[in-house]
C-alpha cells in the first residue's frame, strides 16, 4: 500500500495492485506463483520476480529499475558521476556494436531485477579509467572499478552475477540466500553490533581488511561480511557458536569451516582462507543423509521450544491435547482387552463345569440302565425257574 501511494505521488508509470491468488488460482498458476506474498512486475509480455528485501524503498527501486530502459545510456561525464554517487554497484558497457554487447543485453534482461546496466562511449568516462581494450564491460563498486576478462572470469553472466554484490556486506538470511547463486564461499565475522568491545570490532576490521587488500587473490572464490548476532547462524549450522567468531560458509552444499586457532590478525585470516582453498581445513556439516535427519530433529526441537517460550499455555494446549487423547485411547484399548479376557475365561470355566455336569448325568443314567437290565434279567430267570419247577411237578 505504501509503495502504491508513493509511486503515484512520484508520477511513476508503474501501477500497483494486489490480487487474492486463492480466489484467482488460474491466474496465479499462469504466472507461476508458488508462495505468498509474491511480488511481480509485469512489463510487456515479461513478468519479473522481485527477490529483494521486503522494504518500501527497495521495492520502489526495483520497480523503477525494471520499468525503465534495459540499458541506460550515459551521455556525459556529469551523468556518470551522478549515477556513481547514487548506486553502490552498477555495470557499464563501453564501446560500439559487437557480440559482447549482444551478450551484455541478454544478461541484462535476466539480471535487471538485481542491478543497473548502463552503456557509454569511452570519452564519456572519467580520465582515471583505463581500459586494456574495447569493447569492455566494467563494474563500479567499493570506490573503484573492475574490468571483465573473458579468459580469467569465464562466462559474462556468471561474472556479473558474482560481481553484483559489494566486496563487504552486512549479511543476513536473505543475503545468504542470494549469495547461494554466486557459488562463492562466504567468510563472516559473527559479532554483536551493539557490543563495542575490542574483540568484536577487531574481528570485523580483519574481515574488512582482507576483503579490501586481498581482493585480487580471493574475490573469485570468497564473499566477505559480518553478521549481527548468532541466532540465525546457529540455526543454520545446528550448532551453538559463541560470539565473536569467524565462520566460512559454503552455501552450495551447506558445509562450513571454523578456524582451528584464534584469529589474531589479517595474516591469520589469510592463512585460514588458504587452508580452505587447498583442502587442509576440516569441513563440517554438509547435505548428506545423516545431516538431513539431524536437520529434521533440530527443526522439530526448535519449533517445540519456540512455541513454549513464546506462549506456554498455547504450547501445553497444542501438545498436551493430542497426548491426552492418545493416552485415553491407549487406556481404553488396554482396558477393553483385559475385560474381554476375564469374560472369556469365565465363559470357558462355566462351559467346562456344565460339561462335567452333563458327563456325570450320563454316567448315572448309564448305571440306572445297567441296573434295569440286571433287574430284567433276574425276572426272566425267576420265570424260567418257576416253569422248570412246574414241569417237575
Q: Which region among 315-319, 380-384, 388-392 has the lowest average model confidence (pLDDT)?
A: 380-384
Taking only the tens place, the pLDDT of each residue in 200-240 is 889 999 999 999 899 888 888 899 999 888 787 777 777 77
Per-residue confidence at 269, pLDDT binned at 50, 70, 90?
Answer: very high
What pLDDT shows up at residue 341?
Answer: 52
Is the pLDDT at 338 greater than 60, yes or no? no
Is the pLDDT at 374 greater than 50, yes or no? no
What pLDDT shows up at residue 255?
Answer: 85
What pLDDT shows up at residue 393?
Answer: 66
Is the pLDDT at 82 greater than 60, yes or no? yes
Region class of 369: left (phi > 0), else alpha (psi between -120 and 50), else beta: alpha
User: How large is the average pLDDT for residues 235-248?
Assistant: 82
| Share of residues in the chain with pLDDT > 70 (%) | 83
Predicted TM-score of the model (pTM): 0.70
- Return the domain boundaries, the chain: 1-52, 69-164, 166-287
What pLDDT shows up at residue 273?
Answer: 93
Q: Which region among 102-111, 114-123, 266-275, 343-352 has the lowest average model confidence (pLDDT)?
A: 343-352
Q: Which region among 25-34, 55-64, 133-142, 383-392 has the lowest average model confidence (pLDDT)?
A: 383-392
What pLDDT shows up at residue 342?
Answer: 52
Higher pLDDT, 206 or 305: 206
Give the strand order in the sheet containing 255-257: 168-170, 222-228, 185-191, 245-250, 255-257, 284-285
User: How large is the average pLDDT for residues 284-304?
Assistant: 74
- Angle 324-330-335 from CA coordinates, rounded to 5°: 125
Q: Do domains 69-164 and 166-287 have the same CATH topology?
A: yes
What pLDDT shows up at residue 352?
Answer: 61
What pLDDT shows up at residue 349?
Answer: 60
What pLDDT shows up at residue 234?
Answer: 76
Contacts of 35 (CB under 8 A, 6+ apart): none
CATH 3.40.30.10 fits 166-287, yes or no: yes
Helix axes 266-278, 198-213, angle to 10 degrees: 60
Taking only the tens place, the pLDDT of each residue in 35-60 is 888 899 998 888 888 887 788 998 99
Taking only the tens place, the pLDDT of each residue in 115-168 is 999 999 988 888 888 888 889 999 999 888 999 998 888 899 999 998 999 889
Q: Which region among 8-12, 110-114, 237-241, 354-358 has the lowest average model confidence (pLDDT)?
A: 354-358
Is the pLDDT at 23 greater than 50, yes or no? yes
Kindly report the three-state secondary structure assignment for every residue of the chain. CHHHHHHHHHCCCCCCCCCCCCCCHHHHHHCCCCCCCCCEEEECCEEEECCCCCCHHHHHHHHHHHHCCCCEECCCHHHHHHHHHHCCCEEEEECCCCHHHHHHHHHHHHHCCCCEEEEECHHHCCCCCCCCCCCEEEEEECCEEEECCHHHHCCHHHHHHHHCCCCEEECCHHHHHHHCCCCCEEEEEEECCCCCCHHHHHHHHHHHHHHHHCHHHHCCCEEEEEEECCHHHHHHHCCCCCCCEEEEEECCCCEEECCCCCCCCHHHHHHHHHHHHHCCCCCEECCCHHHHHHHHHHHHHHHHHHHHHHCHHHHHHHHHHHHHHHHHHHHHHHHHHHHHHHHHHHHHHHHHHHHHHHHHHHHHHHHHHHHHHHHHHHHHHHHHHHHHHHHHC
Higher pLDDT, 212 or 180: 212
Distance set, CA 289 to CA 129, 238, 285 (Å) = 51, 15, 11
| Share of residues in the chain with pLDDT > 90 (%) | 23
Beta carbons within 10 angstroms of residue 60's beta carbon:
18
Cell of 163: 560481481
- The average confidence (pLDDT) of the chain is 82
69-164, superfamily in CATH?
A: Glutaredoxin (3.40.30.10)
Per-residue confidence at 377, pLDDT binned at 50, 70, 90?
Answer: very low
User: How large is the average pLDDT for residues 246-266?
Assistant: 87
Amino acid at each position: 500500500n505504501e509503495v502504491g501511494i508513493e509511486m503515484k505521488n512520484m508520477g511513476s508509470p508503474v501501477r500497483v495492485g494486489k490480487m487474492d491468488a486463492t480466489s484467482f488460482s488460474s491466474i496465479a498458476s499462469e504466472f507461476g506463483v508458488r508462495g505468498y506474498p509474491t511480488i511481480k512486475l509485469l512489463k510487456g509480455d515479461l513478468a519479473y520476480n522481485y527477490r529483494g528485501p521486503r522494504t518500501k524503498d527497495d521495492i520502489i527501486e526495483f520497480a523503477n529499475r525494471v520499468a525503465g530502459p534495459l540499458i541506460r545510456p550515459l551521455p556525459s561525464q556529469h551523468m556518470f558521476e551522478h549515477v556513481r554517487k547514487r548506486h553502490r554497484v552498477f555495470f557499464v558497457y563501453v564501446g560500439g556494436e559487437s557480440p559482447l554487447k549482444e551478450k551484455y543485453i541478454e544478461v541484462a534482461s535476466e539480471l535487471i531485477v538485481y542491478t543497473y546496466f548502463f552503456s557509454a562511449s569511452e570519452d564519456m568516462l572519467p580520465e582515471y579509467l583505463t581500459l586494456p581494450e574495447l569493447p569492455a564491460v566494467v563494474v563500479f563498486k567499493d570506490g573503484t572499478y573492475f574490468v571483465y576478462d573473458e579468459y580469467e572470469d569465464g562466462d559474462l553472466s556468471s561474472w556479473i552475477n558474482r560481481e553484483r554484490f559489494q566486496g563487504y556486506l552486512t549479511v543476513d538470511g536473505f543475503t545468504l540466500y542470494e549469495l547461494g547463486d554466486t557459488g562463492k564461499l562466504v567468510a563472516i565475522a559473527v559479532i554483536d553490533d551493539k557490543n563495542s568491545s575490542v574483540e568484536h570490532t577487531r574481528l570485523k576490521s580483519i574481515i574488512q581488511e582482507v576483503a579490501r587488500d586481498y581482493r585480487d587473490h580471493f574475490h573469485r572464490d570468497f564473499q566477505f561480511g559480518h553478521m549481527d548476532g548468532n541466532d540465525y547462524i546457529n540455526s543454520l549450522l545446528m550448532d551453538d557458536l559463541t560470539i565473536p567468531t569467524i565462520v566460512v560458509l559454503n552455501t552450495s552444499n551447506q558445509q562450513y569451516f571454523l578456524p582451528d586457532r584464534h584469529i589474531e590478525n589479517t595474516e591469520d585470516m589469510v592463512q585460514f582462507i588458504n587452508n580452505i582453498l587447498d583442502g587442509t581445513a576440516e569441513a563440517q556439516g554438509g547435505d548428506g543423509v545423516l545431516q538431513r535427519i539431524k536437520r529434521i530433529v533440530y527443526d522439530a526441537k526448535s519449533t517445540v521450544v519456540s512455541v513454549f517460550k513464546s506462549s506456554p499455555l498455547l504450547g501445553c494446549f497444542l501438545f498436551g491435547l493430542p497426548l491426552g487423547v492418545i493416552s485415553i485411547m491407549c487406556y481404553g484399548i488396554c482396558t477393553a482387552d483385559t475385560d474381554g479376557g476375564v469374560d472369556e475365561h469365565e465363559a470357558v470355566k462355566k462351559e467346562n463345569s456344565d460339561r462335567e455336569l452333563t458327563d456325570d448325568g450320563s454316567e448315572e443314567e448309564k448305571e440306572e440302565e445297567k441296573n434295569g437290565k440286571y433287574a430284567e434279567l433276574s425276572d426272566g430267570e425267576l420265570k424260567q425257574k418257576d416253569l422248570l419247577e412246574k414241569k417237575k411237578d
